[in-house]
Amino acid sequence: MEVLALDVRLDGFVDPIGALVRDENGSVAFVYKADYLRRSDATALSLSLPLAEEPYRDVIARAFFDNLLQERNGVLTDVLAREGLTRDDIAGLLYHLGKDCAGALSVLPSGSPPTKVPGDYESDYVPIPQDRMIAIVEALHQRKRLPDGTEDPSPLAGVQSKIALTVLPDGRFAEPKRGSGGPTTHILKVPDRDHQQDARYEAEAMRLSGALGFDTAEVSVVPIGGIETLLVTRFDRGRDRQNRIVRLHQEDFAQALGLPVSMKYERRGKAGRRFDVSGIRRILEATVDPAQAKETFIRATIFDLLIGNNDGHAKNFALLYEPGGRIHFAPRYDILPTRLDDTLTDELAYRIGEAETLDEVTPEQLNAFLLALGIESAAARKRMHQRYPSEIALGLADCLGALEKRQVKSLADLIATNMRMLLGAMRLEIPQAARDRDAFIGLAGGWLMS
């Protein structure tokens, strides 16, 4: 195998900030450029790749850069076949796909000019005709190849069918002009034929998240060609002084922990190298306000338990970076009540104490979870145990009637059922609105509760 050197670029910096190198054995290493390290505004790519002069060897470098590639098939499969590459040849794949990495990063052949630049609404985007937009959505809905000439300008993680695009000030969908390097502003998620209601379910879950005070990405359900899609405003976008769209550096928790995408669930790792509460604690303690970040994460965990989102894996939480390296817990995104789908596991993405499912969560397990997150005071843990589940449940209880009116009764019943289970186990009062609702019955006819 030939040695391959790639430039690693970060939006906002004129020159490459580092290099990704593949050796003759196929191992990869990453090193920051010396000039970049001397800058006062130098920002680490990741918590797993702190600013340092020494190169990062294969295990750490591979995990981070592999996370820049999309999880689902499509263009990745095409490049593998066309170029005769193997899936573990991260550098070889990024040689061909690195210009379109998700986020503010790009990985390019050494010496290449930057391919990602700020975007101007007036000059850098082309409106997508309605008939072509319908064709794109139908292809994603049926999980078929996108129409000729359609390129996803920002390959996205996850297994859901989705495409990145831009919404112009007049509301029209658009895509960056070929070669412009302009950022997209939104993600359009398209459910497949077996999950026709997913856009509506996710929209409701995201709206509930915002209503209960979580910083949450904005969403709307948009019917296109008779298919309900979910339009999500990207949280990793901003505006510069010229009102141009710019990318903001972010990373998900898998990247922050140095984990490959295959280990985004706790059950797939091992002690010391997995997405678990001790790892989550390390991430949250690196933010500008660790106490606030921990409180948000604890409340988000309880919220997810109550709405039936068991898919809060390492790629569904993220960090946002300011220039100079200040780190913030990113807004919530990808919140889907997965327990509405009887074909999916009821196992949690990360354990609550030793609890692996909702019905195993007890006061003792919640206490262990809080302690593992670094809540050292027994009095503080007791207050959180009594306060957070009750507050979140009351907020959700106020929304149950409205959910039914919006024709998502199954979600309202699921939330009420989960309230009775969790609050009952916590020995806390169950809101009247939840006590009076039907028990949730899975969409295939099976009971959620045994």
Catalytic annotation, residues: 311
In 3-state terms, the chain is what percent helix, strand and coil (to 5)? Answer: 35, 20, 45
Closest CA to 442 of 355, 346, 361: 346
Q: How far apart are CA 400 and CA 304, in angstroms?
A: 16
CB neighbours of residue 380 within 10 Å = 11
Q: What's phi and psi for 362, nearest 5 deg?
A: -130, 170
The pair of three-digit structure tokens given for residue 298, joined into one six-digit string:
């604890």
Token duo for residue 361: 């969560």
Neighbouring-strand partners of residue 321 = 327
Cα–chain-centroid distance for residue 395? 24
| Among candidate residues 296, 217, 293, 285, the one with its CA nearest the CA of residue 257 | 285
Residue with tokens 């809101």: 431
Measured CA to CA, the distance from residue 236 to residue 233 in angstroms comes to 9
Do the strands 105-109 and 4-10 form a parallel or antiparallel pair, or are they unpaired? Answer: antiparallel
Angle, helices 409-426 vs 290-307, to 10°: value is 120
- Give the other-Cβ count within 10 Å of 50's Cβ: 12
H/E segment holding residue 21: strand 18-22
Cα 37 from Cα 18, distance rounded (Å): 9
Structure tokens that stand for 405 in this block: 């009116």
Task: Please report, for residues 140, 157, 201, 437, the alpha-carbon distance to residue 188 in angstroms, rounded to integers and kept in the order given.
Answer: 10, 13, 15, 33
Instruction: Report the alpha-carbon distance of residue 16 to residue 6 in Å, rounded.
Output: 10
For 5: left if phi > 0, alpha if psi spans -120 to 50, otherwise beta; the answer is beta
Given a contact cutoff of 8 angstroms between Cβ atoms, the answer to whether 250 and 268 are in contact is: no
The C-alpha atoms of residue 26 and residue 374 are separated, in whole angstroms, by: 40
The residues, ordered by sequence, that sit 6+ positions from 436 with a Cβ below 8 Å of its Cβ are none
